[in-house]
């Protein structure tokens, strides 16, 4: 559980200014002061901060994933196995 919390931040003014040029890649919305955000993988390269409610925690990999990306990964792995 501690690992899951380690990747979570609360958006402060400094983060707001740096992240809102791009916004949340998962939902397309801008961040607001006080929003909870997590570092997550998605269809983009590497890790990006997205709104926490747009993320799924995968305990096996100890990583947050963007919801739609995670669903697509699960669907693809189900067809392989």
Per-residue pLDDT, averaged over 75-81, amounts to: 78
Per-residue pLDDT, averaged over 51-57, amounts to: 97
Structure pTM? 0.88
The pLDDT of residue 8 is above 60: yes
Q: What CA–CA distance (Å, rounded) separates 61 from 75?
A: 17
Per the rule left: phi > 0, alpha: psi between -120 and 50, beta: everything else, 9 is: beta
Please, are residues 50 and 42 in contact by the beta-carbon 8 Å criterion? yes
> For a pLDDT cut of 90, what percent of the chain falls above it?
83
């Amino acid at each position: 559980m501690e690992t899951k919390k380690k990747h979570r931040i609360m958006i402060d003014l400094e983060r707001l200014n740096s992240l809102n040029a791009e916004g949340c890649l998962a939902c397309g919305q801008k961040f607001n002061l006080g929003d909870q955000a997590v570092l997550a993988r998605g269809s983009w390269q590497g890790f990006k901060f997205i709104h926490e409610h747009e993320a799924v925690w995968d305990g096996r990999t100890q990583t947050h994933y963007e919801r739609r990306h995670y669903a697509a990964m699960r669907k693809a792995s189900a067809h392989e196995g």
